[in-house]
Structure 1
Amino acid sequence: MEPTTTSKYTAAHLKPNGPGDARPTALQIVRNERREGDLVGKVALITGCSSGLGIETARAMKATGITVFVTARNLDKARDTLGDILDGDQVQLLHLDLESLESVRKCVSDLKARTNKLNVLIENAGIRHVPKGRTKDGFELHWGTNHLSHFLLFELLRPMLLESSAPDFQSRVIIVSSTAHRNGPMDFNDLNWEKRRYDPVLAYGQSKLANVYTASEIERRYGSQGLHAWSVHPGGIRTGLQRPSFSDAMIFVKCGVMATLKVMMNAEQGASTTVWAAVSRELEGRGGKYLERNQISQPVKKGWGLIDPGHVEWAYDEERAKKLYEISLGLVHA
């Protein structure tokens, strides 16, 4: 049976009133789902835990009792910002630089030295609207960081996720995406931005569409084996990821200052959809869809605006998702 698009959290999102309003926080999701202390003995890995959403995701997941491995490129910064989340040995910190495929492989090796189990993989880290640049492996920064490194991370951890899946809690992969997947269809002729004039907004959008495609293709390939995946739009939040840009200013111009401010959330609320995907009982044994506002996304409505919810028609293009998956396997030599 397919999950419905609505959830018990739908009503809280009908009339947003800015950060700290009635929309749930990540910790409230854990409590509402009756998951406090419920996942003891299980293991999660979360990328990008030195600021914003990663910190609040780690805090909420810790409340479930699950053993949490968190990653960061700057370990000193992560220790400082995570603070008491790192108290005890339930939450452990690993180094991961997503601009390097070698670092991804090293992180996986370090994880396997500490555990032989993985039930939840949350690919949260990312960059947004950065100037043109290349990763250590020669990939455009958004493409390499947001998509390819996370793709390789999943592929290397896939056997562990499959082996750890259990009837009462099947393994889950959550990939943080964005409404930016709506910026345009995937351009397979220039995935690495070598032919076109560079556009950081479009480059970011392509990487976020790749996140949506990866989650849906994981579900098609491995869902029947007890490994499920969701892509997630966290919402409008001011974090270290989001630098002021011309495109952000245009959102306020086109959508109105007050309307835009009302849909914004704080980091605790922004992490809630990710955590809902990771712990929801309603979503058990399912996957492959794009989530937002603590529910399964619906198609965009005619005449949709930049701050409106919904996914575009190409988000669930199975042929393109399969094509991207095969290309990505070759690029990372998985």
Structure 2
Amino acid sequence: MNFGAQTTAAEVLDGVDLTGRRAVVTGGASGIGVETARALAAAGAEVTIAVRNAEAGERTAADLVAATGNKQIHVAPLDLADQASVRAFAAGWEGPLHILVNNAGVMASPLSRTPQGWEMQFATNHLGHFALATGLLPALRAADGARVVAVASSAHLRSGVVFEDIHFERREYEPWLAYGQSKTANILFAVEADRRWSGDGIRVNALHPGGIRTNLQRYIDVDELARSIRASSGQEVRWKSTEQGAATSVLLAASPAVAGVGGKYFEDCQEARPNVPGERTGVAPYALDPEAAARLWAVSAETIQSTL
């Protein structure tokens, strides 16, 4: 597998035929979500872009149809912070689902809460995707070899899941700690989902796409972030294009190179090595801890159940 940091999504799927495969990409109307959808569609997959802004989704779908020649590109409403919206999306899905890319997210936002009182980054980045994937489980099983992809981040190195106060009800809110916690949750979800579902042929992995300048950074100054990282770690941020940023997502979603792989965390199109303290690469041991993964699953399921 000769893919790396500079590989593009299109290069990952060069020669791969996804005709007959059906995919859902959350947040598919902006950033690396667009490029993920583009690469899957160009390889022949039927792609549904699940987005909050249907108008932006329709514009993106039209652009992708024109660019790829694939007319099987659909748009469906999905607000991950609204459990009723997530349930409606899952209930409305018909037939098998071969690929689910949990791509949408919010980064380092000011403190905001859902009507249930959940911290918004955790609610959107983790709980919304958790409910979506579990709601679509019958469709994933019906695909006879599905893949689920959780787009996490190197920011998981900032925080594990603080089970004693997930929603910042007692500790002071800090945007980056909240974001880091939600990204660790994405990885732990992949660990436990793969353990539970691999027997049904469903493989689940997580990834860090790399540093990409997208609308995800609307709450932060990216230049200030780069300076902060340089000051704290001595490492420069190497920005990727959106086409490069989507490559690892597409690899895990559809490449034969990782067939049969599950419960892992990837970066730069390779399985990540363990993190070395002080560095910004690799995976933290707490993010792959099976006990934490099982605990998070139980907490998440109970949390979601409370909204029914």
TM above 0.5, yes or no, is yes
The residue that corresponds to 1:304 in the other structure is 278
Match of 2:250 among 275, 278, 286: 275
- 1:264, 1:39 → 2: CA distance? 29
The question of 1:98 aligning with 2:59 is answered no
Deviation (angstroms), 1:72? 1.0
Normalised TM-score (structure 2): 0.92
* Alignment partner of 1:326 is 2:298: yes
Cα shift readout 1:257-291 (whole Å, capped 9, x = no counterpart): xx625x21010100000001111212112210001
Greater shift after overlay, 175-184 or 78-87? 78-87
C-alpha separation in 1, matches of 2:9 and 2:117: 36
Task: Tell me the secondary structure at the aligned position of residue 94 of structure 1.
Answer: strand
**Aligned with 1:316 (options 281, 288, 295):** 288
CA distance in 1, matches of 2:158, 2:107: 14
* Cα distance in 1, alignment partners of residues 82 and 116 from structure 2: 6
Residue ranges of structure 2 left out of the alignment (5+ in a row): none
- Answering whether residue 26 of structure 2 is matched by residue 47 of structure 1, we say yes
Residue 320 of structure 1: CA displacement? 0.7
How far apart in 2 are the matches of 1:260 and 1:239? Answer: 18
User: SS at 1:189's partner residue?
Assistant: helix
Q: Identity of aligned pairs, percent?
A: 37
Q: Shift in Å at residue 193 of structure 1?
A: 1.3
Give the structure-1-normalised TM-score. Answer: 0.85
Q: 3-state SS of the aligned residue for 2:64?
A: helix
**What are the equivalent positions in structure 2 for 1:80-91 lying under 5 Å apart?**
80-87=59-66, 89-91=71-73
Checking the alignment, whether the CA contact within 8 Å between 2:149 and 2:249 is kept in structure 1 is yes
Out of 136, 140, 143, the position equivalent to 2:122 is: 143
Q: Is the 8 A contact 1:140 1:192 kept in 2?
A: yes
Match of 2:40 in 1: 61
CA contact (8 A) 1:42 1:67 kept: yes
Deviation at 1:156, TM superposition (A): 0.5
- What RMSD in Å do the two structures reach over aligned CA positions? 1.7
Contact 1:101 1:137 in 2 (8 A): no
Q: In the TM superposition, what whole-angstrom CA distance separates every residue of 1:104-124 from its partner, at most 9, and x where no partner exists? A: 111123333xxx110110000
Q: Quick one: distance in 1 between partners of 2:56 and 2:212? A: 20
Output the CA distance in 2 between the equivalents of 1:248 and 1:83: 35
> Which residue of 1 is the match for residue 89 of structure 2?
107
Deviations 1:273-324 (A, max 9, x none): 00011112121122100011001010123x5333xx2011212111110000
User: For the residues of structure 1 that align with 2:138 and 2:92, how far apart are their CA atoms?
Assistant: 16
CA distance in 2, matches of 1:160, 1:75: 23
What's the CA shift for 1:247?
Answer: 4.5
Name the residue aligned to 1:73.
52
Counterpart Cα distance in 2 of 1:53 and 1:178: 13
Name the CA distance, whole Å, in 1 between partners of 2:9 and 2:76.
23
Would you say 1:8 and 2:14 are equivalent positions?
Answer: no
SS of aligned partner of 1:260: coil
| Distance of 1:163 and 1:81 partners within structure 2 | 28
Whole-angstrom CA distance in 1 between matches of 2:48 and 2:116: 25
Q: 1:123, 1:175 within 8 Å by CA — same for their partners in 2?
A: yes
1:251 paired with 2:229, answer yes
Give the AA of the match of 1:27: A
- The whole-number CA distance in structure 2 between the counterparts of 1:236 and 1:148 is 24
- Report the residue type matching 1:25 in the other structure: T
Gaps of 5+ in 1: 1-6, 14-22
1:203 alignment partner AA: A
Superposed CA deviations along residues 123-172 of structure 1, whole A, max 9, x for unmatched, are: 0000000000112433110010000010000011011101211xxxx210
Q: Match of 1:101, as an amino acid? A: Q
Distance between the aligned counterparts of 1:86 and 1:133, measured in 2?
Answer: 36
Secondary structure, counterpart of 1:128 in structure 2: coil
Corresponding letter in the other structure for 2:76: L
**Given residue 2 of structure 2, which amino acid in structure 1 is its aligned partner?**
K
1:184-203 correspondence runs (5 A) = 184-203=159-178
- The CA distance in 2 between the partners of 1:328 and 1:237, in whole Å, is 29
